[in-house]
Amino acid sequence: MLNQKKFIVSHAPFWHDGSTVTARSYNMIIAALPAVLFGFISYGMPAVGVVSLSVSSAIVWELLFNKISKRTISIGDGNAALIGILFGMLLPATSPWWLVITGTFVAVVIGKQIFGGIGGNPFNPVLIGLAILMVSWKDFFDFNEALVNYDLGFAMVYPLSALKHLGTSGIDAFNTADLLMGQQSGGIGATFGLGLIIGGIYLIIRGFIRWEISVSFLAGVVITALLFNLVNSAQWAGPVFHLLTGYTLIGAFFLATEDSSSPVNFIPMLIYGAGAGIMTVLIRNTGAHIDGVVFAILLMNLVNPLLDRIRPKALGKVV
């Protein structure tokens, strides 16, 4: 039994295709930049401060934990920087410095490092950080309250909270083109729909994220929102509104696709993505929270190990 041959590998030399984790991380950061820069232009220096502090503190937390746990310094792979920038993108521009630093600590150390670092985390670290902060200090994540001193020339009420409290009569002020072009309040890097879509398509074409997850996530959102809308169009918004508001697009392209917390096979990826999309709209329409993306993806992260059991049968005799 001990000599059973499991793999047959040909002789060296091998050829590495040149792809690295580092390249992947920094490409994802580049893909996120259009949306981030749009946030900087909209919200000015406070937004620059939040994102800069978020990236640098995320790398510092990883460096410190590497030192404390006496492991190889892993900050070179850019994953901590990626966590930092995604976390900063979800925050309102007025977040205080301590909130940013606490959030990146939770994301990097509790969300990733204590599970053994990159690849070992069962949940998306960014969402772990954000969820814990949202539950702990929910007033800072009330975009209506956080952005009370901003007047950017469009309806500044947070679209999803207008929908939640007023029904579709509350969202007449928003039209699709404006929402796509970022004419809405929200997280620093989460409002510019077009930028997020361009970034997402770039990542899909380069193969850094799986299209199956993004597309099924968006399909889940569209179908569920459409069903609700058909039942009662006065209370529940249509699918396009749900696609372009809140964290939907950043969730579909940058958060749900996090590799260690999402499935690897085709069917599981579709179930995972669609499940997160469906849960997003269910939480928005019938749940207590205003936006459902964070908890929907975390919930599907939880289901991920089960989904991974749906896999192709091994060829030949299985012992």
Partner 1 sequence: MTPKKELQFAYGLIIILFLVGVVSYAGFPAKTPDQPIRIMYKGVAGKVLFDHKTHASEAGYGLSCSDCHHHPEDEDSSLRACGDCHQAPAEGQEFPESCTECHEPDEIEDTEIIKNTDAFHSQCEECHQDSGAGPEENRCSWCHVL
Q: Measured from the CB of residue 232, what is the shortest distance to partner 1 in angstroms?
A: 16
Nearer to partner 1, 119 or 305 (CB): 119
Nearer to partner 1, 165 or 311 (CB): 165
Exposed (0-12), middle (13-18) or buried (19+): which is 98, by Cβ within 10 Å?
exposed
Q: Which is nearer to partner 1, 90 or 157 (CB)?
A: 157
Looking at the chain, the number of H-run helices and the number of E-run strands are 14, 0
Please report, as a single letter, which amino acid is at residue 220: G
Least distance in Å: CB of 151 to partner 1? 5
Tell me the residue type at 166: L
List Cβ<8 Å contacts ≥24 apart for 232-236. Answer: 233/168, 234/167, 234/168, 234/169, 235/167, 235/168, 236/167, 236/168, 236/285
Task: Report, in Å, the least distance between residue 156 CB and partner 1.
Answer: 7
Q: How far is the CB of 76 from partner 1 (least distance, A)?
A: 3
User: Which positions lie near partner 1, rule CB under 8 A?
Assistant: 22, 44-46, 48-50, 52-57, 59-60, 63, 73, 75-78, 80-81, 93-94, 97, 142, 144-145, 148-151, 156-157, 161, 165-166
For partner 1, the closer of residues 60 and 226 by Cβ is 60
Between 42 and 301, whose beta carbon lies closer to partner 1? 42
Measured CA distances, 4 to 7, 8, 315 (Å): 9, 11, 16
For residue 318, give Cα distances in angstroms to 132, 166, 314.
44, 58, 7
Shortest distance in whole angstroms from residue 59 CB to partner 1: 5
For residue 266, give both structure tokens.
């085709």
- Distance in Å, CB of 309 to partner 1, minimum: 36
Task: At 125, give phi and psi (nearest 5°).
Answer: -60, -40
Amino acid at 89: M
Catalogue the E-assigned strands of the chain: none
Nearer to partner 1, 173 or 181 (CB): 173
